[in-house]
Structure 1
Amino acid sequence: MQIIDSLLGNLMVPTIMFFVLGLVAAVVRSDLSIPEGAAKFMSLYLLLAIGFKGGHSLAEHGLDAALFAALAAGLVLSLAIPFIAYALLRSLTRLDALNAAAVAGHYGSISIVTFVAASSLLDLTGIAADGYMVAVAATMEVPAILSALWIAHRFGQPGKTGGVPLRELFANGSIVLLTGAFVIGALTQDKGMQMIAPFVVTPFTGILCLFLLDMGLSAGRSLLRNRHMLSAGLFGFGLLMPVVGALLAWGCGTLIGLQTGSLFLLMVLAASASYIAVPAAMKIALPQAESGIYLTLSLGVTFPFNITLGLPLYLWLAGLGAA
């Protein structure tokens, strides 16, 4: 009973509930919508705010062994998870090797929006996390793509996979803004935070609520539009894989001694699936793969699961691991 109360307490926060509202609006085919320009501004704002606050926190924390251990854990998870995802896809679904590799790459990479929502949940519940987890998030973006391309070349169609220029991977807009704001926050320290705190702190939760409302609409409509592509096995994978990733991160994070907040964020990163950076890379590197499959799985299945049920579950597990 205590477990259920804890999970419900983590679920009943405005950010998650506004996402659910967006899902419901999509399912009932409401004409509710957020202007594209407003949605773009909100995404830029959230990346800037979370990056800057993370850099400021790192400046207070300083460089130490814990930072490098967390970075190493994130790197290993990002490289390894696509191989596990590929094995599950080949056993649970009828996907061919090329499409399975493309999907697997999404699950080793990360969803920045899920990470931002998780950070907000920590703020709302009063649990602290290390600022360097923003750097861990940036570290986990690219390695999974490289693992997926190796899998595709080895088991898919050798010689027919394209290459992704490294510049395009590292110049991804979300990563540039997140890491850039992180560096600025670390360099300007308390002085910088005092100057822009009214912008990056006070309105953060309200803007995130509105942004997640829009994401709920997008996720729900994507799922309705492409539901014909989801077999029972694929749908099951989209729900199972984030839990597998979270448990792997739970083991790694507990091993290196992460505290509850940081352990939770590492679990969220390993559980999330990219639906922005990796799809763009896969269109270049694996043009033969079905984009409708990997986009629907990451945005229409895994993202809603993580935001609504995954975050409360991972936070409860993180409390056990760091106890």
Structure 2
Amino acid sequence: MSEIIVQNLLSPVVLFFVLGIVAALVKSDLKIPSALSEALSIYLLIAIGIKGGIELSHYSIESVIQPIMGALFLGIAIPFITIFITRLMKMDLQNSIGLAATYGSVSIVTYGAAISFIEKNGIAYEGFMNALVVIMESPAILVSLLLLKIIEKKKDESAYSMRNVGLVYRPAGLIDKEVLRDSLFGKSILLLLGSLFIGLVLGERAVPMVKPLFMDLYSSVLILFLLSMGITTGQRLPEVKKHGVKLLLFGLITPVLFGSLGVVTGHLAGLSLGGMTLMGVLAGSASYIAAPAALKASVPEANPSVYLGLALGVTFPFNLIVGIPVYYEMAQWIQ
């Protein structure tokens, strides 16, 4: 186990991420232009999506239905578990919902780093796993926002029954159109889903054109992006410290809890060792692209330094350095 963690720590992907953190902590003038960082994220989304679509074209619907159901289960169950834990921590409702959406959704970059890890170690995995990234992106956001609306509605009804006055009428439904649009057609989901569909339709015919850019250069581009993410993470670390030890422990313990649930779900869905590991990584990761974008528009009361600071400042580096090897070891033990 320790050997695998050390091996992962000494990979270029992790070392460049650490370099970015160090640069931020020592207040270096090293910066990645925002336009370049945006371009790198677009590249990664397309690369993961189109590779998943090409691989998915090799499978029948019968062979992927169980993993898809497993992915949907995780996307729905994790927000409920997160809200239960945060409410035990006496956290306010809005920030609980923020963490539920963030931790229920997935990190594309963590998944990309996990792909590099298992490929470097020669571990086989199902090609359709890239498709599960898309499937797991939206459900948690929708479920979290739905729970917020339901809880708020119950509170309003309770207050109204006690006072019978002062209730503000809200004609909107449980989830408005803007929330649905941001959750289903936000940049990350649109790019993933679109490139996945293109890869699925074209199949192997797409390989000669996409291989030089989106397959051969993938690991090198990931290094550049993780250097950028390291800088951002280092800048977010002070924000996490403001909120105390409880929140820090949440960011360290829940990835292992959810990752374990993901590995077990992958096992029950009939996935291979590599597939179980990736399912664990997806379940244990936290979104810092799609979920924060939806939360900013739909739950402005939630504090970004809590859900975004924790996802980027604690859970992301934990998964990158320790989590991925841990989920792999869990998958090995279960298998």
> TM-score normalized by structure 1?
0.92
- The residue identity in structure 1 corresponding to 2:325 is P
- The residue identity in structure 1 corresponding to 2:17 is F
1:157-306 matches, within 5 Å, as 158=155, 163=176, 164-224=178-238, 226-306=239-319
Deviation at 1:12, TM superposition (A): 2.4
Q: Quick one: distance in 1 between partners of 2:199 and 2:300?
A: 38
From 86, 93, 97, the equivalent of 1:97 is 93
Deviation at 1:156, TM superposition (A): 5.0
- The residue identity in structure 2 corresponding to 1:84 is I
1:133-172 matches, within 5 Å, as 133-156=129-152, 158=155, 163=176, 164-172=178-186
The aligned residue for residue 16 of structure 1 is 14
Deviation at 1:155, TM superposition (A): 3.8
The aligned residue for residue 33 of structure 1 is 31
Alpha-carbon spacing, 1:291–1:156, altered in 2? closer, same or farther (3 Å): farther
Task: Name the SS of the counterpart of 2:300 in structure 1.
Answer: coil
Counterpart contact for 1:11–1:312, Cα < 8 Å: no
Deviation at 1:196, TM superposition (A): 2.3
From 123, 128, 132, the equivalent of 1:132 is 128
Alpha-carbon spacing, 1:303–1:68, altered in 2? closer, same or farther (3 Å): same
Counterpart contact for 2:126–2:271, Cα < 8 Å: no
Alpha-carbon spacing, 1:165–1:82, altered in 2? closer, same or farther (3 Å): closer
Counterpart contact for 1:246–1:271, Cα < 8 Å: yes
Unmatched 5+ residue regions in structure 2? 157-169
Counterpart contact for 2:146–2:175, Cα < 8 Å: no
Deviation at 1:167, TM superposition (A): 2.0
> TM-score normalized by structure 2?
0.89
Deviation at 1:238, TM superposition (A): 0.8
Deviation at 1:205, TM superposition (A): 0.8
1:41-80 matches, within 5 Å, as 41-60=39-58, 62-80=59-77
What is the number of equivalent residue pairs in this alignment? Answer: 317
Deviation at 1:200, TM superposition (A): 1.4
Counterpart contact for 1:97–1:156, Cα < 8 Å: no
Alpha-carbon spacing, 1:64–1:319, altered in 2? closer, same or farther (3 Å): farther
Q: Quick one: distance in 2 between partners of 1:296 and 1:65?
A: 40
Pick which of 238-247 and 141-150 moved more: 141-150
Deviation at 1:116, TM superposition (A): 1.4
Alpha-carbon spacing, 1:192–1:256, altered in 2? closer, same or farther (3 Å): same
Task: Name the SS of the counterpart of 1:165 in structure 2.
Answer: helix
Q: Quick one: distance in 2 between partners of 1:116 and 1:51?
A: 11
Deviation at 1:165, TM superposition (A): 3.3
**For 1:14-38, what per-residue CA distance to the aligned partner results, in whole angstroms no more than 9, with x for missing partners?**
1122111111222222211111121
From 306, 317, 320, the equivalent of 1:307 is 320
Deviation at 1:85, TM superposition (A): 1.0
Pick which of 8-17 and 237-246 moved more: 8-17
- The residue identity in structure 2 corresponding to 1:218 is T
Deviation at 1:186, TM superposition (A): 1.9
Deviation at 1:118, TM superposition (A): 1.2
Counterpart contact for 1:162–1:284, Cα < 8 Å: no
- The residue identity in structure 1 corresponding to 2:120 is L
Question: Sequence identity of aligned pairs in percent?
Answer: 39
From 87, 103, 110, the equivalent of 1:107 is 103
Q: Quick one: distance in 2 between partners of 1:55 and 1:283?
A: 30
Deviation at 1:95, TM superposition (A): 1.3
Q: Quick one: distance in 2 between partners of 1:184 and 1:142?
A: 20
The aligned residue for residue 6 of structure 1 is 4
Q: Quick one: distance in 2 between partners of 1:122 and 1:89?
A: 33
Q: Quick one: distance in 1 between partners of 2:184 and 2:142?
A: 12
Deviation at 1:227, TM superposition (A): 3.5
